[in-house]
Amino acid sequence: MTANPSIGQLTEPISAWHEASVDAPELFFNRELSLLSFNQRVIALAQDPRIPLLERLRFLCISCTNLDEFFEVRVASIQQRMAHGANQPGSDGLTPGQTLQAIRKTVVEMVDEQYRILNEELTPALRDENIRILRRSTWTNQQRDWLHSHFQNEIMPVLSPLGLDPAHPFPRILNKSLNFAVALDGEDAFGRDSGMALVRAPRSLPRIIRIPSNHSDGPNDFVFLSSVMHAFIQELFPGMQVEGCYQFRVTRNSELFVDEEEVEDLARALEGELMGRGFAQAVRLEVAANCPQPIAQFLATQFGLDASAIYQCDGPVNLNRLSAVCDLADRADLCYPPFQPATPRALITSDNLFAAIDRQDWVLHHPYDSFTPVVDLMRQAVNDPAVLAIKQTLYRTGEDSALVSLLIEAARAGKDVTVIVELRARFDEEANIALATRMQEAGVQVVYGVVGHKTHAKMMLIVRRERGELRRYVHLGTGNYHQGTTKAYTDWSLLTAHPALAEDVHLMFQQLSGLGQAKALTHLLQSPFNLHTALLAKIDREIDHAQHHRPCGIDAKMNGLTEPEIIQALYRASRAGVPIRLVVRGICCLKPGIEGLSENIQVRSVLGRFLEHSRVYHFVNGGQSETMAASADWMERNLFQRVEACFPLLNADDAHRVWTESIDLAFQDNQSAWALSPDGTYAPVTPATGHAPIVDMQKALIDWPSDAPA
Question: Residue 492 gets which letter from DSSP?
Answer: E
By three-state DSSP, how is residue 523 classified? coil
CA angle 704, 706, 708 (to 5 degrees): 55
Amino acid identity at 249: R
Q: Which of 150, 453, 456, 482 is catalytic?
A: 456
Residues facing 676 on adjacent strands: 682
- 338 by Cβ neighbours in 10 Å (0-12 / 13-18 / 19+) ranks as exposed
User: What is the Cα–Cα distance from 100 to 284, expressed in whole angstroms?
Assistant: 12
Inter-residue contact 616 to 663 (CB < 8 Å): yes
Q: Which residues contact 79 (CB under 8 A, 6 or more apart)?
A: 96, 100, 253, 281, 283
Q: Which residues contact 116 (CB under 8 A, 6 or more apart)?
A: 314
Told to judge if 523 belongs to the known catalytic residues of this protein, a careful annotator would answer: no
CA distances from 538 to 501, 520, 543, 560, 619 (A): 20, 18, 9, 19, 7
Give first-to-last CA distance, the chain, whole Å: 29
Amino acid identity at 208: I
Question: Residue 153 gets which letter from DSSP?
Answer: I
Output the DSSP codes for 240-288.
Answer: SEEEEEEEEEEEE-------TTT-S-HHHHHHHHHHHHTTS-EEEEEEE
Residues facing 390 on adjacent strands: 417, 462
Give the residue from 4, 9, 22, 29 showing the smallest Cα distance to 589.
29
Question: Residue 586 gets which letter from DSSP?
Answer: S
The answer to whether the Cα torsion of 634, 636, 640, 642 is positive or negative is negative
> Count of residues for the chain?
710
CA angle 164, 168, 172 (to 5 degrees): 90
Amino acid identity at 311: Y
CA distances from 6 to 38, 88, 109, 706 (A): 12, 20, 12, 42
Alpha helix (H) ranges present in 70-188?
76-83, 96-116, 123-128, 141-150
Catalytic annotation, residues: 456
